[in-house]
Amino acid sequence: MKLVGQGYYWTELPVGARFRTFGRTITETDIVNFVSVAGMLESLFVDAEFRAGHSAIPGRPAPAALVLSLCEGLVLNATGQGTGLAFLGMELTVKAPVVQGDTIHVEIEVTEQRAAQKNGRGLVRTRNEVVNQRGEVVMVYTPLRLMAGPPAE
């Protein structure tokens, strides 16, 4: 029986393949929960009066680490469920702020794909652009992942 929602094997992710995730609206609850759990209790994130007087960002900003975390959830649920084995590293660039009420999605392009050294596994690197509801790219990151290969016949 086919397992519904399973991600792609590394062999199904050729260089040049492109995907787009569903969107996710950033809520006040997302921001409050994340900064509380992570201990990121900076005035910028928890003090509305400080933000009003000192922030260069209009609205309630979401930490970039929160945005990355939510994007990884969108990406992995869509492409790596059960097939993603390890996150090996990345480069990340934040291009614009994300604030409460913004809706983001991820546009993914496979930029590298090759066999790993053992067990039919492979390495896949993607360029992930985080895009807001206005079509602006707000973050770019390039994860390298160890991915499972298809089961042996």
| Domain that residue 91 falls in | 10-147
Q: Does 79 fall in a domain?
A: yes
The model's pTM: 0.94
Instruction: Look at residues 20, 26, 23 and name the one whose alpha carbon lies nearest to residue 64.
Output: 26
Q: Does 1 fall in a domain?
A: no
Looking at the DSSP bridge assignments, the partners of residue 112 are 125
Q: pLDDT of 98-147, one tens digit each?
A: 999 999 999 999 999 999 998 899 999 999 999 999 999 999 999 999 99
Q: Does 3 fall in a domain?
A: no
Tally of domains in the chain: 1
Report DSSP letters for 81-140, one per residue.
TTTEEEEEE--EEE-S--BTT-EEEEEEEEEEEEE-SSTT-EEEEEEEEEE-TTS-EEEE
Q: Does 140 fall in a domain?
A: yes
Stretch 70-78: mean pLDDT, rounded?
Answer: 96
Q: Does 58 fall in a domain?
A: yes
The CATH number that applies at residue 39 is 3.10.129.10
Alpha-carbon distance 41 to 23, whole Å?
Answer: 27
Q: Does 4 fall in a domain?
A: no
